[in-house]
Every structure is written in C-alpha cells, then in structure tokens.
C-alpha cells in the first residue's frame, strides 16, 4: 500500500480546517476525506521541494494560530475554527494571509478538483465533444 | 559530453519559437541545419481529457501554481511543444497602435506589425465566431454592457473545427485551436527543422549552448539520447518565453554587460469574477471567450473579457472561503464569469532574478496603480453582472465579498481599494511580458528593434520578453509579428 502524503498524514487537524473552508465537507466520510487529501498531496508532490516545504510550513502555521485561540484543532470546535480563520484572512501580516491562502488553495484543489465530485455535486463535467457531445447525450 | 554542430539554434517552441522555426525552415533546403530545443515534452491531444488537476499538472509549469516571490500572484505558462499556445484561448487581437507608438522604437511601426500579424491571423484560421456559436456566458456579457450603454467588442479566435468543448485552457481535446503545435511547428519539421523536446538549455556561451536532454514523461527516449550536449551554432534565437529566455541569459551571465536583463517585467494581473443568475447559464459549452470591453483602458488601466474556468480554478481564484464562497460553487451551472485584466506599468524593479539554485524567481509586487485597476475593473464587472440580471456577485475587494442585488446602486462604495489585501485576494496572470525588452541602448534594454541582443550579433530574442511595456491586450499575434520580424533580420544576415 502506498505511503500517505504529507497532508494525508495530517488528516486529523486538516479536517476541521477543510470543513471551515468548504462547509459541505462535513458530510465526508473517512474514505472521502482521504481522497481529498490524496489529491491535494498529489499536487504538492509535483512541486519543487522548497515549495512543498513552504506549503507544509504554511499549514502548520495556520494550525498553530488556530490552536492559540481555540486549543487543539478538532471538529468539536468548528465555530471557533471558522471564526479564527476568518480573522486570519484579514490579518495585518501578509505572511499569515499568504499561509492561509496556500492552505485553502491546497484543500480546495483536493475538494473541487475531484472529477467525481464535480460531476455529482456541482453538475460539471468536461464535454470533450462540445456541443456535439451534449447533443449526442440527449439523443435517445 | 556530445558535440553537435548547427547553423541556427532556436530555444523554445511557443508563439515566438514556432514562428521563427517556420520562417527559417526554407534554409534547410539550402543545406543549413536548424535545430529547435524545447524543454518540455510533445503532447498528444488525444490525452487531453479536460480534468483540470490532471491537465494542469501535465501542461503547466508547477501545475499552474508558479508564484511570484512575494506569493501574491500566480503565473501560468507552459513548457512543452507549442509552449503556451497549447493552453491559450486563441484570442486574436492585433497589435494595439497606441502601445506600439508609445514604444517609440525606430523602424517599428504599428502598420508594419499589424500587417505581419494579419498574415499569421490568416495562417491560423482566425475568425469571429458566428452568433450561433456564442454561448450564454458571452451573451450575458454583451447584454449587460448594452444595458449600461457600453460597447462590448467581439474579437476573433484562431480555431478550425472548434466543437465548443470550452476546454481551451486545459488543452483542446479536438486539436481545433491553431497554436504553433498545430500550424507552424509541424510545418517547420516537415521542411527539415529538427525539434528536440525534453531538451533544457542550461547555459549559453559564445555561439555554444549547453543542453541537457532527458526522457519523456513516460520514460521513453525522445528525439535525442538522454545526456549532455554542447551545441555549436552560428546563430542562436531565444524564444523560451519571458521566464525561459530571461533565465537563460541571467544564468549565462549576460546581465554583467546588459543590466536590463530580467527587468521591466509585466504580466497583466487578472481577477476571475463570478456572478450567480437565477437560471442556469450555459457557460461550460462553447468557446469561452469572444467579447471584451476596453473603453476605460487608457483612463483606468483595465479591460474586461469573457471567460470560463472549471470548478477548482474558479474556487481558487475567488477570494475567501466558507458558506458564501461555497454557495457560488454549488451553483456552478448558474454562474456567469468575467475576467478583469489590469495593465501594469513596466518598472525596472519588477524583475526576474535567479535564486541560489539558479532557478527563476519573479520579484513582482502589485503596486497601487495595478490594485486600483483591478478594483476599478471589479466595479465595472459587477455593474455588467447586475445589468445582465445576476442575483449576486462575488467581488474580491468588497467586504463581505458577496454582493446581493440591493448593492447594485452602491457598487462604488462597496468595492474599495482598501479592501484589496494582497495575499488574501487571488490574482493570477498568463500574459507574461518583458525581461529582454527592445530599446535603443544597452543601458536600459537588452535587444535592438530586430531582437538582436546589444553587442552580440549572433544572438536574438523572439518572444514576449521583447515587449518594452505591457501590451494591454492578449499578446500572441503581436509575439508572432515580432518573431516574424526577427526571422527577417536573421534571414537577411544569412543571405548576406
């Protein structure tokens, strides 16, 4: 079995962050959450080592800043986590804002970038044949 | 290290490199050896499946997430056969006369560039889409502008046999878009130009290139055996794009005699804006771009274009998160989208440098003029959205970012520059320009008006890095026109 990536290994505290950013993620079971983080990891693993390192640092920084206000990051503190993230988004420190942006982008990549979810939840599916493909689909 | 002799070496295969390769191809029949090096792979369009993460990883440098050094802007560009022409939308705008005149370069007239651009427009099947092929996302833009008394302009695109998959930015799955990978490069190859992919030019010395050739992504060998090569060429033409050409010159130490190398970088930073309509909007089908509005480009430095992006790119480029953000995504098939592009100033301190490992680092800051332009563009787009019947608009520089219809009369006060927080507001750019700008002298430019590097008669540049300032339009036809000029200069020398 392939070893899990850096984000998947941080599933426990990334879940509350993901749920604050994408409220619909509250409905994800363990397997679905792993899939989200695996997709995010795949993006991260493609990037140069320095960028990967900075992305993990960014996520850890956000976790630490949330923990300062809310204590250990957990699903039971969803309201506190969401409020804290909203504050951090408008932080005076550009580095904190950037760390939040990077974490948010990675998590959203795993959630919204999943073709299965795009089709099932957003009604989006790439139509390779364009107009013709759409007509073919509706033709009995 | 293996040694290869050539007459002309071209570095890069995008709008500039592809053009030069096709123009110089007749030299092969006269016994000259012309080799083009491309550091990315060849793409098979049949593998373009429209899945955004997979395609972004396959096509874009760093999956489309190449960030400027301060982390506030992401830059999108491609390394591969055809360069960024593989992923552009094919928006075909002629070189704007007022910008070419502003460049004030001896011997470079707007008329001449337009004439050259029109030749490529014809070559690339550029045409305005008929009304029946304009999708609802574009029609809403026109309707909103009309309601406001603004004049939306239709522009032409370079497609042949477009099926309307709307997937231009992820690689056309029907090979309909007429980039250099479809038109100029195959033509050049058929006439004997050698195109070597997975070939990274590491350094440039006097008429010598150090080239590292790697394997294809699937592990198979490319045109040349993997390994290190020294290529000896009488002439070298750099067309590796703004980041590629500039990085090569910096890595090779050309900045010691040419202090402008890497400077005056611009990128026309952009916002993707979305608005929700009460009814489904046909946005994913049909060519994504056909209209622009640029009536305030000279006074307020922005222009608007229609656009459409898939869900993650949309989510990433919207600002914020949480219920408001999610609500827009959940109504994806009700979204209208507009792209705001800012015309940024070319400044010497906006530049490309090398990091400690010799990799490119783009030191670029969103300055106050650019931020004002993006905010001004957001206000204009919000007005168009509401005029077209939108229920709510996502405005990155508003607090909260979601504007309901009751805000339509207070747009100027709700969308404000002080709410534009770099690092929170998503900004991306795909129109990279400058870094090897044309000019009159080596003190503040890198090449002359023919793209010849000052002081190096054997070395030319032929890509968007030549632009002295931002073009204030989609650049590919202008890149081709300039590359065509560079090819003429090279041919003159060869004939001489």
Residue B217 confidence class, pLDDT cut points 50, 70, 90 = confident
Q: Confirm if B8 and B233 have CB atoms less than 8 A apart.
A: yes
What is the mean predicted confidence (pLDDT) over B305-334? 96
Residues with Cβ within 8 Å of residue B112, at least 6 apart in sequence = B485
Q: How far is CA B125 from the centre of its chain?
A: 19
Residue with tokens 């930015």: B169
> Tens digit of pLDDT for each residue in B244-284?
999 999 999 999 999 999 999 999 999 999 999 999 999 99
Q: Pick the closest to residue A47 from B260, B63, B439, B4 (CA basis).
A: B63
What are the beta bridge partners of residue B394?
Answer: B274, B402
Is pLDDT at A2 greater than 60 in this prediction?
no
State how far the Cα of B65 lies from the Cα of B61, in Å rounded to an integer.
7
State how far the Cα of B414 lies from the Cα of B443, in Å rounded to an integer.
45
Question: Which pTM does this prediction carry?
Answer: 0.96
Q: How far is CA A51 from the centre of its chain?
A: 17
How many CB atoms neighbour CB B78 within 10 A? 25
Domain boundaries, chain B: 2-125+169-265+432-495, 131-159+270-343+367-426
- Candidate from B57, B332, B359 with C-beta closest to A46: B57
Tokens coding B4: 């290869």
How many CB atoms neighbour CB A48 within 10 A? 12
A124 touches chain B (CB under 8 A): yes
State how far the Cα of B16 lies from the Cα of B480, in Å rounded to an integer.
6
- Average of per-residue pLDDT values in chain B: 96
What is the DSSP secondary-structure string of B450-483? Answer: TSBBTT-TTEEE-SGGG-SS--SS--HHHHHHHH
What is the DSSP secondary-structure string of B287-309? Answer: -S--EEE-TTHHHHSEEEEE---
Is pLDDT at B392 greater than 60 in this prediction?
yes
What are the beta bridge partners of residue B237?
Answer: B10, B460
- Candidate from A23, A104, A134 with C-beta closest to B326: A23
> Tens digit of pLDDT for each residue in B452-488?
999 999 999 999 999 999 999 999 999 999 999 999 9
Interface with chain A: mutation pick from B287, B308, B321, B325, highest number of A CBs within 10 Å: B321
Looking at the structure, give the CATH architecture of the domain made up of residues B2-125+169-265+432-495: 3-Layer(bba) Sandwich (3.50)
> Tens digit of pLDDT for each residue in B183-215?
999 999 999 999 999 999 999 999 999 999 999
A94 touches chain B (CB under 8 A): yes
B166 touches chain A (CB under 8 A): yes
Residue A2 lies in a domain: no
Q: Give residue A12's pLDDT.
A: 82
Interface with chain A: mutation pick from B424, B425, B426, B427, highest number of A CBs within 10 Å: B424
Give me Rg for the CA atoms of chain A.
17
Is pLDDT at A76 greater than 80 in this prediction?
no
Tokens coding A50: 């320095």
Interface with chain B: mutation pick from A130, A133, A135, highest number of B CBs within 10 Å: A130
Chain B: residue nearest A83 by CA? B322
What is the mean predicted confidence (pLDDT) over A35-57? 90
Q: Confirm if B235 and B488 have CB atoms less than 8 A apart.
A: no
Q: Which of residues 59-118 of B touch A (CB under 8 A)?
A: 62-63, 65, 70-72
CA distance B285 to chain A (A): 6
How many CB atoms neighbour CB A13 within 10 A? 19
Residues with Cβ within 8 Å of residue B332, at least 6 apart in sequence = A122, A123, A124, B311, B314
Coil, strand or helix: which one is A70? helix
Chain B: residue nearest A78 by CA? B322
Coil, strand or helix: which one is B313? helix
Chain A: residue nearest B51 by CA? A115
Q: Give residue A137's pLDDT.
A: 47
CA distance A69 to chain B (A): 19
Instruction: Note the CATH number of domain B131-159+270-343+367-426.
Output: 3.30.410
Q: Confirm if A9 and A49 have CB atoms less than 8 A apart.
A: no
What is the mean predicted confidence (pLDDT) over B356-382? 97
Q: Give residue A135's pLDDT.
A: 53
- Candidate from A39, A98, A131 with C-beta closest to B53: A39
Residue A53 lies in a domain: yes
Instruction: Note whether A127 contacts B284, CB cutoff 8 Å.
Output: yes
Interface with chain B: mutation pick from A128, A129, A135, highest number of B CBs within 10 Å: A128
- Candidate from A85, A95, A130 with C-beta closest to B164: A130
A78 touches chain B (CB under 8 A): no
The per-residue b/e assignment along B152-191, b for 16 or more CB within 10 angstroms, e otherwise, is beebbbbbeebbbbbbbbbbbbbbbbbbbbbbbbebbeeb
- Candidate from B174, B284, B424 with C-beta closest to A101: B424
Is pLDDT at A139 greater than 60 in this prediction?
no
Provide, as residue numbers in chain A, all residues whose Cβ is less than 8 Å from the Cβ of B163.
Answer: 129-133
Percent of chain A with pLDDT strictly greater than 70: 93
Instruction: Note whether A128 contacts B167, CB cutoff 8 Å.
Output: yes
Q: Pick the closest to residue B113 from B94, B88, B93 (CA basis).
A: B94
Q: Give residue A140's pLDDT.
A: 33
> Tens digit of pLDDT for each residue in B351-366?
999 999 999 999 999 9
- Average of per-residue pLDDT values in chain A: 88
Is pLDDT at A138 greater than 80 in this prediction?
no
B400 touches chain A (CB under 8 A): no
Coil, strand or helix: which one is B392? strand
Q: Confirm if B321 and A103 have CB atoms less than 8 A apart.
A: no
State how far the Cα of A50 lies from the Cα of B238, in Å rounded to an integer.
28
Instruction: Note whether A122 contacts B332, CB cutoff 8 Å.
Output: yes
Residue A92 lies in a domain: yes
Instruction: Note whether A97 contacts B286, CB cutoff 8 Å.
Output: no
Q: Give residue A3's pLDDT.
A: 53
Residue A73 confidence class, pLDDT cut points 50, 70, 90 = confident
Range of the domain at A15: 8-138
Residue with tokens 């969103």: B366
Residue A88 lies in a domain: yes
State how far the Cα of A15 lies from the Cα of B29, in Å rounded to an integer.
63
Label residue B130 exposed, middle or buried (CB < 10 Å: 0-12, 13-18, 19+).
Answer: exposed
Is pLDDT at B34 greater than 50 in this prediction?
yes
CA distance B317 to chain A (A): 9
Chain A: residue nearest B280 by CA? A123
B321 touches chain A (CB under 8 A): yes
Total structural domains in chain A? Answer: 1
């Amino acid at each position: 079995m392939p070893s899990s990536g850096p984000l998947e290994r941080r599933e426990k505290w990334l879940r509350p962050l993901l749920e604050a950013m994408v409220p619909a993620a509250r409905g994800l079971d363990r397997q679905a959450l792993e899939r989200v983080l695996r997709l995010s990891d795949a993006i991260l693993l493609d990037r140069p080592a320095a960028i990967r390192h900075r992305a993990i640092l960014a996520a850890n920084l956000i976790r630490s800043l949330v923990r300062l206000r809310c204590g250990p990051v957990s699903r039971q503190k969803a309201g506190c986590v969401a409020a804290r993230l909203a504050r951090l988004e408008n932080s005076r420190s550009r580095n904190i804002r950037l760390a939040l942006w990077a974490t948010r982008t990675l998590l959203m990549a795993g959630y919204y970038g999943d073709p299965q979810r795009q089709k099932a939840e957003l009604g989006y599916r790439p139509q390779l044949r364009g107009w013709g493909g759409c007509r073919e689909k509706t033709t009995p | 290290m293996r040694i290869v002799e050539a007459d002309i070496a071209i570095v890069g295969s995008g709008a500039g490199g592809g053009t030069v390769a096709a123009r110089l191809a007749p030299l092969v029949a006269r016994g000259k050896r012309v080799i083009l090096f491309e550091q990315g792979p060849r793409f098979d369009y049949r593998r373009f499946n429209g899945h955004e993460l997979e395609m972004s990883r396959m096509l874009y440098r760093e999956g489309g997430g190449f960030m400027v050094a301060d982390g506030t802007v992401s830059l999108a560009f491609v390394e591969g056969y055809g360069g960024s022409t593989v992923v552009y939308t094919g928006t075909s705008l002629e070189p704007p006369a007022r910008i070419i005149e502003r460049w004030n370069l001896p011997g470079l007239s707007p008329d001449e560039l337009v004439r050259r651009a029109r030749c490529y427009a014809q070559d690339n099947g550029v045409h305005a889409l008929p009304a029946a092929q304009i999708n609802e996302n574009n029609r809403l833009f026109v309707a909103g502008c009309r309601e406001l008394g603004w004049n939306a302009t239709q522009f032409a695109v370079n497609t042949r046999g477009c099926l309307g998959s709307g997937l231009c930015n992820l690689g056309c799955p029907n090979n309909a878009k007429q980039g250099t990978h479809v038109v100029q490069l195959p033509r050049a190859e058929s006439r004997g130009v050698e195109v070597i992919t997975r070939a990274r030019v590491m350094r440039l010395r006097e008429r010598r290139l150090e080239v590292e050739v790697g394997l294809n992504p699937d592990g198979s060998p490319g045109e040349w055996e993997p390994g290190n090569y020294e290529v000896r060429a009488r002439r070298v033409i750099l067309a590796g794009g703004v980041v590629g050409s500039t990085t090569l010159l910096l890595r090779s130490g050309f900045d010691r005699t040419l202090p402008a190398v890497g400077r005056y970088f611009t990128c026309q930073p952009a916002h993707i804006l979305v608005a929700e309509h009460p009814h489904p909007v046909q946005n994913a089908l049909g060519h994504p771009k056909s209209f622009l509005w640029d009536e305030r480009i000279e006074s307020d430095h922005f222009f608007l274009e229609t656009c459409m992006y898939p869900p993650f790119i949309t989510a990433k480029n919207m600002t914020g998160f949480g219920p408001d953000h999610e609500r827009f995504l959940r109504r994806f098939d009700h979204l209208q989208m507009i792209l705001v592009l800012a015309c940024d100033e070319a400044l010497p301190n906006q530049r490309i440098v090398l990091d400690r490992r010799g990799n490119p680092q783009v030191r670029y800051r969103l300055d106050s003029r650019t931020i004002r332009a993006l905010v001004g563009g957001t206000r204009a787009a919000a007005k168009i959205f509401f005029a077209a019947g939108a229920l709510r608009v996502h405005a990155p520089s508003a607090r909260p970012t979601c504007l309901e219809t009751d805000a339509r009369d207070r747009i100027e006060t709700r969308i404000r520059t002080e709410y534009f927080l770099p690092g929170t507001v998503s900004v991306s750019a795909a129109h990279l320009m400058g870094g090897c700008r044309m000019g009159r002298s080596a003190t503040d430019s890198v090449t002359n008006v023919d793209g010849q590097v000052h002081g190096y008669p054997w070395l030319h540049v032929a890509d968007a890095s030549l632009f002295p300032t931002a073009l204030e339009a989609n650049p590919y036809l202008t890149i081709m026109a300039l590359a065509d000029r560079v090819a003429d200069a090279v041919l003159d020398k060869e004939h001489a």
